[in-house]
Amino acid sequence: MSTETNVSSREARSEQPYYKWIVLGTVIFALLIILLDITVVNVSIPRIMTDFGTNISNVEWVFNAYTLAFAATLITFGKLGDMFGHKNLFLGGLVVFGAASAASGAAPSIDWLIVFRTFQGLGAAMMMPATLALMLSAFPPHQRGLALGFWGAMAGVALAIGPVLGGWLTDDFSWRWIFYINIPVVILAIILTLTFIHGGLLNIVFSFDIFIRGFRIAAGFTLAGAIISLFIRQRRRTEPDQKPNQPPVAAAG
């Protein structure tokens, strides 16, 4: 009974005129942290190199791991959103992204930082298709152009302010805060999603079609894993002088 009450309450909210703006604000929060984390790291590279006593070819993977995991799995997670609900993937992405951000900020070595940044990229790929799907479903057809305009404008702002924000946090606090700053945004987005955004949690009817789609998605993840493995193998080839005691990234190739 309580579940039915909660669902009907969310449906009632979705009829309110402010609902679409709350959805837009929620997905823009997610969009900001997804795109900020592409550019925010660049200005922190010298400080990360100093703290971990590593070289530029290692630190480049702090950027590459995120963008590679994000790009390689984006389409697959979009398909998963179509199957299991974009709200579910959005919430899952927020949790993965937030946990990976906290772990990246606390990373004890450059290799662990690269691993956590890979998971951050996976969380971003889970969220990105859902931001558009949730936003467009909340707006009536005649206002979707307006919503897309806001979405595109904020994407540009996020990419532009990333280096400025990263430089300020690195100089006045620590490079670790470029990751910690994501956590309150993630928490706020989770609260808004659970409270306001319409759409139940997992409600799946299994069929043969589900298994076919699952096979295609598994193939997509396999391809993404192969691409990432090839890049890691290439990294090892270009760095033959690495020390023997390497945490998980070196071992993964």
What sign does the CA torsion over 14, 74, 189, 139 have?
negative
At 74-125, the pLDDT tens digits run 888 888 888 888 888 899 999 999 999 999 999 998 989 999 999 999 999 9
Give me the DSSP letters along 159-177: HHHHHHHHHHHHHHT-TTH
Q: Which CATH architecture has domain 2-206?
A: Up-down Bundle (1.20)
Euclidean distance between CA atoms 44 and 34, whole angstroms = 17
Ordered alpha helix ranges (H), 40-143: 45-52, 56-84, 86-105, 110-138
Q: Which of 119, 79, 67 is nearest to 97 (CA)?
A: 119
At 25-81, the pLDDT tens digits run 888 989 889 988 888 888 888 899 888 888 888 888 888 889 888 988 888 888 888
Q: Which of 204, 185, 1 is nearest to 88 (CA)?
A: 204
| Predicted pLDDT of residue 205 | 43
